[in-house]
Amino acid sequence: MHPLRWGDPARATSLPAGARALVEAVFGPPPEAGARDDGPAAVPAVGLPADTVAVFAAVVGDEHVSTDDDLRRLRTRGKSTTDLLRARAGDLADAPDVVVRPASHGEVADVLAVAVDRHVAVVPFGGGTCVTGGLAARREGYAGVVSLDLGRLVDVDVDPVSMTATLGPGLRGPDAEARLTEHGLTIGHVPQSFEHASIGGFAATRSSGQASAGYGRFDALVVGLAVATPTGPLTLGTAPANAAGPDLRQLVLGSEGAFGVITSVTVRVRPVPEVTRYDGWRWASFADGVSALRTLAQSGLRPTVLRLSDESESAVNLADPDAIGNSGGGCLMIVGYEGTAARVETERVAASALLASLGGADLGEEPGRAWEHGRFAAPYLRDAMLDLGVLVETLETATFWSGVDRLYADVKAALERTLGQPALVLCHVSHVYETGCSLYFTVAARQADDPVDQWLAAKTAASDAIAAAGATITHHHAIGTDHRPWLADEIGQVGVRVLRAVKAELDPTGVLNPGVLIP
Ligand SMILES: Cc1cc2nc3c(=O)[nH]c(=O)nc-3n(C[C@H](O)[C@H](O)[C@H](O)COP(=O)(O)OP(=O)(O)OC[C@H]3O[C@@H](n4cnc5c(N)ncnc54)[C@H](O)[C@@H]3O)c2cc1C
């Protein structure tokens, strides 16, 4: 990945002419100087003593320890817009001192022992796609910071009888799927960051994919975990279900590297779908579409993909920049089905009849195919917009159905009030449950003199609105450092003490991802 941009440098793009003209009409011409993004900004000098680097090398081998500036630049922070803006402005202050690449659970445990002994902070690194500051550990009080790159833990062990697969945490989404496809199997976990994010990262952040309505969130797919902690190993998940006390897997899922390093993940797998079909539906208003989603979700029908854009997002049509402004009005819903031909047909007929009876207009397969085609494109468009001096960022939350109208109105108003004009606030329902849904907001605004401060002010206002509405501070992006100030509101002081107690037991000297997750 490029240190200052999203994804594969070969796929970097600029906006099509029509979209660029529209962006300039809304946000004004790009700043004269243009965005600086290509100079290799300097990383701070390595602060970790050479003899400590040598002890890490003794554990994993010289060739798997690096203090190379280019590699440290690539392991600095994640891929939120503020991460990119800081890197573009030459601020790489959070660069790790050294990148260490273990190959096994045992090597991870030995690296942690050295880290404890030398009081070095350890930041587990999967795909580096974090958007909540979870890779920017606190440095003060530590001898240095190690980026623990899990890219060599890539084993795959399939149990076709139980329909499970035990996967190395370093496998990226496409590699894991390619290995499972050899067995005719899939996890079905496809977040927008799929192409770069890792299995361990999905577990550590409780990620949710675009097809989670059908396959389930990643945490719901995990049946077993192995974890290395400074005080010993945790091996969890010996049966498909159990009543052996509280489910400790849930302590590891979402622990963001603060409790231990996930060294293997066993997931439920399914057959590769015979058929995939994604339909578009138009609704007169977002409220109508939300109401239809709720009815559908509570009807017992379970499409694989369900998402609904509000009026503004439907008009902008993030899936297809060539079609910006040509949505035809109303709100676009994507309803996708995956599985055997027979199951897809049965579900589609039943869900379509229900949606039609609720007032939806069937747009056929074309909008669904456009969404599928463009599903990984938006992050590249974010870079193109940043190049034009436009701030683009996202945030997400979730609540029960009875609170959706208020949450939508309050977060939108908070963002519109604080971003400065001109600004666009777009939203879609990204994940749907019987009891509620998540809302995913995307903003675009003319960049202020300090765009990082501009976003932090807007994000703070939106987060306060989320907390006041009683919704969650994060449905799938995790806590990191960015959401930490709102966690106590959500889980209460007793909840915070429980997290601190677990941390004290598993990581008594606090070397694991200091400053991340725990308030
Ligand atoms: C463009 C874009 C789109 C995104 N779309 C989605 C989406 O659709 N759905 C979604 O859920 N998220 C999404 N995200 C957020 C991000 O991709 C997820 O949080 C993802 O799960 C992170 O995986 P990763 O491998 O990149 O983890 P990393 O970024 O490497 O790490 C994330 C956190 O987990 C810790 N960690 C990583 N691996 C381990 C391990 N093995 N053991 C212990 N701790 C570990 C890290 O220290 C860090 O705190 C998106 C991000 C971007 C930039």
What pLDDT digit, counting tens, does each position of 303-353 carry?
999 999 999 999 887 545 455 445 567 999 999 999 999 999 999 999 999
CA–CA gap between residue 394 and residue 132 (Å, rounded): 11
Distance, CA 298 to ligand 1 centroid (Å)? 30
CA angle 234, 235, 239 (to 5 degrees): 145
What number is the average pLDDT over the span 241-261? 97
* Residue 132 CA to ligand 1 centre (angstroms): 9
Tell me, what's the pLDDT at 273?
97
Mutate to test the pocket of ligand 1, among 150, 187, 205, 206 (most ligand atoms within 8 A of CB): 205
The dihedral formed by the CA atoms of 318, 323, 324 and 328, expressed in degrees to the nearest 10 = -100
Q: Which is more confident, 32 or 204?
A: 204
Least confident of 65-74, 371-380, 480-489: 371-380
- Average the pLDDT over 459-469 and give the result: 98
With CA atoms as reference, report the closest residue to 229 among 511, 496, 495.
511
The response to whether residue 360 sits with its C-beta less than 6 Å from ligand 1 reads no
- pLDDT of res. 225: 98
Which residue's alpha carbon is nearest to atom 8 within ligand 1?
A: 191
440 lines ligand 1 (CB under 6 A): no
Residue 240 CA, distance from chain mean position: 27
**What is the model's pLDDT at position 324?**
47
Find the helix or strand (DSSP H, E) in which 430 lies: strand 423-432
In short, whether 96's Cβ falls inside 6 Å of ligand 1 is no
In ligand 1, the atom with minimum distance to the C-alpha of 227 is: 42
Q: Is 66 in the pocket of ligand 1 (CB under 6 A)?
A: no
The model's pTM: 0.96
Nearest protein Cα to ligand 1, atom 44: 257
Task: Label residue 10 by pLDDT band (50, 70, 90).
Answer: confident
**Ligand 1 atom nearest to 218, measured from its CA:** 11
Report the distance separating Cα 114 and Cα 137, nearest Å: 18
Which atom of ligand 1 has the smallest separation from the CA of 210?
8
Q: Which residues of 320-346 are buried (b: 16+ CB within 10 A; e: fewer)?
A: bbebbeebeebbbbbbbbbbeeeebee
Report whether residue 262 contacts ligand 1, using a CB cutoff of 6 Å: yes
Give the residue, by CA position, lying nearest to ligand 1 atom 11: 207
User: What is the number of other CB atoms lying within 10 angstroms of the CB of residue 472?
Assistant: 18
CA 77 to CA 383: how far, in whole Å? 17
Structure confidence by residue, pLDDT tens digits, 405-451: 999 999 999 999 999 889 999 999 999 999 999 999 999 999 999 99
The radius of gyration of the chain's CA atoms, rounded to the nearest angstrom, is 23
Ligand 1 atom nearest 476 alpha carbon: 11
Mean pLDDT for all residues in the chain: 94
Mutate to test the pocket of ligand 1, among 84, 122, 130 (most ligand atoms within 8 A of CB): 130
pLDDT single digits (tens) 275-284 = 999 999 999 9
In the predicted model, is pLDDT for residue 162 greater than 60? yes
Ligand 1 centre distance from Cα of residue 130 (Å) = 4
Give residue-wise pLDDT tens across range 97-129: 999 999 999 999 999 999 999 999 999 999 999
Q: Is residue 46 over pLDDT 90?
A: yes
Q: From its phi and psi, is residue 157 left (phi > 0), alpha (psi between -120 and 50) or beta?
A: beta
- Predicted pLDDT of residue 325: 47
88-93 average pLDDT score: 94
35: pLDDT strictly greater than 60:
no
pLDDT number for residue 17: 83
Give the residue-averaged pLDDT of 461-479. Answer: 98
pLDDT band at 41; cut points 50, 70, 90:
confident
Q: Is 134 in the pocket of ligand 1 (CB under 6 A)?
A: yes
pLDDT at 326: 53
The number of the ligand 1 atom at minimal distance from the alpha carbon of 378 is: 1
| Best residue for ligand 1 mutational test, from 125, 132, 193, 255 (most atoms within 8 Å of Cβ) | 193
pLDDT band at residue 38, thresholds of 50, 70 and 90?
low
Amino acid 3: pLDDT: 79
| Ligand 1 centre distance from Cα of residue 125 (Å) | 9
Give the pLDDT score at 323.
Answer: 52
78 CB less than 6 Å from ligand 1? yes
d(CA 150, CA 169): 7
Instruction: Quote the ligand 1 centre to 410 CA distance (angstroms).
Output: 27
Q: Which atom of ligand 1 is nearest to the CA of 517?
A: 49
Q: Closest Cα to residue 475, out of 404, 382, 373?
A: 404
Residue nearest to ligand 1 atom 4, measured at CA: 193
Q: pLDDT digits over 353-402, tens only?
A: 999 999 999 999 999 999 888 888 888 999 999 999 999 999 999 999 99
Of ligand 1's listed atoms, the one at least distance from the Cα of 123 is 47
Lowest mean pLDDT among 29-33, 80-84, 187-191, 296-300: 29-33
pLDDT of residue 22: 85
Question: Three-state SS across 371-425?
Answer: HHHHCCCHHHHHHHHHHCCEEEEEEEEEEEHHHHHHHHHHHHHHHHHHHCCCEEE
Taking CA atoms only, the protein residue closest to ligand 1 atom 50 is 193
